[in-house]
Every structure is written in structure tokens, then in C-alpha cells.
Amino acid sequence: MSWFALKAILSGILIAAISEIARRSPGVAALVASLPLVSILGVIWLWRDTGDGPRIASHLEATFWYVLPSLPMFLLVPWLLRHGTGFWPSLGLGCLLTIALYFLLLWLAPRLNLPL
């Protein structure tokens, strides 16, 4: 089996496991999903492929800054759902907010000397 296929299978199993856990316990699934497992797997794959410590350091630092604009979505979507907005519109608005905040981050990063 190719290395790429192994990476894809393991990453897919992680996502599938989280969705199965969520059917039984949303809180536990949220905890598992909030763990930086995808980032850790990505770093492991990057280390295995390149062995480049400075590249991994840059990747992890940039990941920190890119996580921040995604966090408000996790508050907006539940708020919209609890106030009667449908699932797809809520998710769409959450994604639009995240995209807008990503663009804001990309605009601010050079001005604040953030390492992206």
C-alpha cells in the first residue's frame, strides 16, 4: 500500500470515528474533534516525508494563527440553530464568517508581522 493511501485511510478513519462517537455522545465527540489530532497527523506525515524541523515549526506556528478565525463559527452556528435557523443556512453563515475572518487575518498578518 502506498504511503499516500495509508495517510488517507488513517485520516479518514479519524473523521469517521468522530462522527460515530457523536451519535452516542456529542460531548465526547467534541472533545476528540477539538484535539489537534489532524494537525498532529499532518506534522507526523510532514516529518516522515521531509525530516525538516524548521518547516514543521513554521507549519505549526501558522496553524495556530489560522485556528483563531475558525473559532467564532463554533459559537455562531449553535446560536443560529437554537434561534430557529435551519442547519444548512446556519452552517453556510458559519463558513462565510470563517472565510471573512480568514481574509481579515491575511490582511492583518503582514501588518502585525504574524508568521503565516
Please give the DSSP secondary-structure letter assigned to residue 83.
T
Where in the chain are the domains?
1-35, 41-116
Give the per-residue pLDDT at 35.
79
With 0.85 as the threshold, say if the pTM is over it.
no
Q: Please determine, for residue 1, whether its predicted confidence score (pLDDT) is greater than 80.
A: no
List helix spans (H) across the chain. 3-24, 26-34, 37-50, 53-67, 73-82, 87-112
What average pLDDT score do residues 41-64 get? 92
- Per-residue CA distances from 28 to 42, 44, 47, 85, 101 (Å): 23, 24, 29, 25, 28
Greatest C-alpha distance within the chain: 49
Residue with the bigger pLDDT between 93 and 28: it is 93
How much is the pLDDT for 39?
86
Decide if pLDDT at 54 tops 70.
yes
> Distance between CA atoms of 27 and 80, rounded to whole angstroms?
19
Check residue 42 and give its pLDDT.
Answer: 86
**49 pLDDT exceeds 80?**
yes
Q: What is the mean pLDDT of the chain?
A: 92
Rounded distance between C-alpha atoms, residue 66 and residue 105, angstroms = 8
